[in-house]
Structure formats: structure tokens, C-alpha cells
Amino acid sequence: MIGKLLGGYVGSRVGERYGNEGLKGALIGVGASALARRGAGPLALVVGGAWVAKKVLEKRRGRTTATR
């Protein structure tokens, strides 16, 4: 349900930006909702993996970004 609400919000914002084109905004809203529903898990996995890889590489090089 939250995805549908966010899709509607995105669609209305796109419609406002491009001169109240309701159909274009609705289609983009549906696309954004579907992308969020199906793409959030894999995207989070990729971002998390990249973050872990960065931390491992920094540790191997002896650099840390954390300040204590």
C-alpha cells in the first residue's frame, strides 16, 4: 500500500512539473512503484556489497575513515 501511495505521489509531481500531463504522470508513478517493489532488494544488496568491499579494501590498505 505504501508503494502505491509513493507511486501516486511521484506521478502527481511529474504531472505538475510537465504541465498537468495526467497520463504521463500516472504511467511514471506506476513504473516507480513497480521498480521500488521489485528493485529495492537487489539494489540494497548491491549497495551493501559495495560498502562492505570498500571497508575491506580500506582496512587492507591500512586506512580508516572512522575517527576516534
Cα separation of 15 and 31, whole Å? 14
Cα separation of 30 and 25, whole Å? 9
- Is the pTM higher than 0.75? The answer reads no
What letter would DSSP give residue 49? H
Supply 22's cell numbers. Answer: 495526467
Cα separation of 64 and 55, whole Å? 8
DSSP-based three-state secondary structure for 63: coil
What mean pLDDT is reported for the chain? 76
Q: Which residue has the higher pLDDT, 22 or 46?
A: 46
Cα separation of 18 and 7, whole Å? 17
In this prediction, residue 50 carries a pLDDT of 93
In this prediction, residue 44 carries a pLDDT of 81
